Structure formats: C-alpha cells, structure tokens
Amino acid sequence: MRKTARSKTARCSALFATGLLALSSLTACGNESAGSTPDTGGSTGTGEPVKIMVGGLNKIIYLPAVLTQQLGYFKDEGLDVQLMEEPAGVEAHTQLLSGQVQGVVGFYDHTLDLQAKGKAVESVVQFAEAPGEVEVVSDREADAITSPRDFKGKKLGVTGIGSSTDFLTRYLAVKNGVKLSEFKRVAVGAGPTFTSALRKGTIDAGMTTDPTVASIIDKGEGQILLDMRTVEGTEEALGGSYPSSSLYMQTEWVNSHKEIVQKLANAFVKTLKWMSSHSPSEIADKMPADYAQGNGIVYAAAIQHALPMFTRDGVMPGDGPETVEKVLRAFDPDIANAHVDLSKTYTTEFVKNAAG
C-alpha cells in the first residue's frame, strides 16, 4: 500500500479508536452467539412473515437491517420481519438454502460462490460497496509482515473457512505471489476470540472489522496492514469497488414472491435514503439503546466511520460484480472453472422500482 494511504489509514484509525473501543464487547456478544438467535424486538406478529438471517446483528456493516426494523419500515410495508443471527456467512447461506430463512443479510460474494456450486441466489438490495474489513498484523509480526507478500509461512485469521474474510484473505495472498499452500488460514471468529488469537500467537495477522480493529489498536496489540473500510482503500487493495453487505435470496423464491421482495426493497431503500440524510447521532438514536452501552456519542462516532461504505439507493455499483468475480477466480477453482453469469447474481429490479 502507498505510504500516504497507510498514513491516512492510521490517522483515521486513531481518531475513531477510542470511540469504537467501547463497542467491542457488545459486538463480540453478537459474534459469539451459538447458532441462530432470533431478534424478537420489533416483531409484531402481524403482516406477512419473513425470516432474515443477519451475519451479526450488532455489526455496523449490517446496520441497515436493524435500523429498518427500528424505523418501522417493515411494518409500514405490511411485513412481519424476524431478524435472526448467524455470524459466519457460510452458515447463514446454509440456513437460506435449507429454507429455514427467506433471506440473508451478508456479503454479495456468496452469490457467485453458490452459483458455481449449482445454487441460484441473487442480491436484491445492495447495502455497501466496500467490505468494511481490515487486515491487522500483531505487533510482534509488524516488521515481518509489511504487505501480503509476507503472508508466506504465516497463520492468518479469518471469521470462518468459506467466509468472505476467507475469500479476501486468499485473494490478497495469491495476488501478491503467495500460494494457498504456503500459509495457514485459522478460523477465529471476531471480537474477543479474534483478539485473543492475535494476542496469544494463534494467528500472526487476520481480517476483521470495527470495533475489533479499534480495540486492538487502542491496546497496542496490532497494526493496520490493509484498510478496506472505504471505497478508496478497497480500490487500492482489490482494484475496484467490492460490493459487500446485501440482502440476498434464492432466485426461485424471489420470482415466486415478487410482491414480498418489492416490499422488502421498499423498506431497505427507504432506510438507506434516511441514513444519507441524517447525522450519525440521529442514526445512533434510532438503534436499540443497549448498542451504545450508555454512550451515544461514542456510538455515533462508530457510525460516522462506517457511513461512506453504504449505498444511498440499494443499487449494485457498476464495476462491483466484475471485481468480485476477479477476486474469487484468483483462488477458487470452482469459480475459475465455471461460467458465472453475473447478471444472475443480482437484480436491480426491486430497488429501482422502490426509488421510482
């Protein structure tokens, strides 16, 4: 990464570290849940029932899911949406394919991975165009790992094997000349489990999100190697925008329940527009009170840091799908050897109708 970009990253991280640290234990609780836990708050028991699995209810990268519930937009559309939690993306789409939930709020890249495996899944609302992920290196390895070229022989932490952090880690290694057989991926989750693994030496570096990043930096236990919390940082690391958090669903279900999907799109697009026209503190005020842990100013700072990654209309960024395909083809033989029809991995039909 260019020195100017890394200096800017360091300054931004320092600015938000204090504020985000107070949130680390809260987000960790969501990441540590065993299995799928329903979020009963906001479920009215009336309207069309829809179950949506979220890859971490407290994660700021998935903030639009809970915020839509809090704003009452699901209810306004005549929907009774139950938000559930499964922190590992690979487990979330397993729930989707088994029919236990109708949608997943998770990373768009899973739609390509699943298509290569014969499963038709598509993004219907695109929340973000940057991953919001950071590659953090432990202090003891800071001199040895100065770029992904130094991943050889190292233990790298990911949320779970087959997760989006796993996808991105493998790509960064291959892109920089490191073979997949030359380093070890270790599933360490997020929050305190990730931090503990870094501290104990179970991993030398790893990919995670805020507020875990802020906690590590504040305690002097690690340094930022790559920052993909902004579109600019993402373009520098991956060569283009990387659409991440989204609402994705099975294509067959979408086609047979268009009225419900349109209502979901209406609600989410309304939320994204609301976010773009309100301050971080106003957004924080609408979220569940315990998310701020008694400090609304701190929570607002965390939201401010994340806002640039979100779209305003739920529309897929033009170069996004191609960048994701390039990333996955670099290391995934299933995708490299398959014809992936990108036009079938997302649709803008519903969000454009919602905007119109």
Tell me the pLDDT tens digit for each residue of 92-106.
Answer: 888 899 999 999 999
- In angstroms, rounded to a whole number, what is the distance separating the alpha carbons of residues 310 and 305? 11
Tell me if 309 sits within 8 A of 128, measured CB to CB. Answer: yes
- pLDDT bin (cut points 50, 70, 90) of residue 35 is very low
The residues near 293 (Cβ < 8 Å, ≥ 6 apart) are 22, 23, 25, 26, 299
Tell me if 214 sits within 8 A of 61, measured CB to CB. Answer: no
Phi-psi domain of 188 (left: phi exceeds 0; alpha: psi -120 through 50; beta: other): alpha
What is the average per-residue pLDDT within 287-310?
Answer: 78
- In angstroms, rounded to a whole number, what is the distance separating the alpha carbons of residues 232 and 347? 25
Q: Rounded to an integer, what is the distance from CA 355 to the centroid of its chain?
A: 24
Tokens read off for 84 = 């559930």
Tell me the pLDDT tens digit for each residue of 221-253.
Answer: 999 999 998 889 999 999 888 999 999 999 999
Amino acid at 95: Q
| Alpha carbon separation from 54 to 60, 86, 228, 242 (Å, rounded) | 12, 6, 21, 19
Strand ranges (E), 211-308: 222-228, 245-250
| Alpha carbon separation from 351 to 68, 317, 355 (Å, rounded) | 15, 13, 6
Domains of the chain are 33-129+243-355 (3.40.190.10), 133-238 (3.40.190.10)
Position 350 pLDDT exceeds 80: yes
Position 164 pLDDT exceeds 50: yes
What pLDDT is stored for residue 1 in this prediction?
41
* pLDDT > 90: percent of the chain: 64
What is the average per-residue pLDDT within 108-118?
Answer: 94
What is the average per-residue pLDDT within 50-62?
Answer: 89
What is the average per-residue pLDDT within 294-318?
Answer: 83
What pLDDT is stored for residue 293 in this prediction?
60
Burial class of residue 355, CB neighbours in 10 A (0-12, 13-18, 19+)? middle
Higher-pLDDT residue of 12, 342: 342
What pLDDT is stored for residue 29 in this prediction?
35
- pLDDT bin (cut points 50, 70, 90) of residue 141 is very high
Query: Under DSSP, is residue 85 helix (H, G, I), strand (E, B) or coil?
Result: strand
Tokens read off for 125 = 């609302």
Tell me if 77 sits within 8 A of 123, measured CB to CB. Answer: no
Tell me the pLDDT tens digit for each residue of 257-280.
Answer: 999 999 999 999 999 999 999 999
Higher-pLDDT residue of 77, 13: 77
- In angstroms, rounded to a whole number, what is the distance separating the alpha carbons of residues 96 and 107? 13
What pLDDT is stored for residue 47 in this prediction?
82
Residue 211, preceding peptide bond in cis (omega within 30° of 0):
yes
Tokens read off for 17 = 């570290």
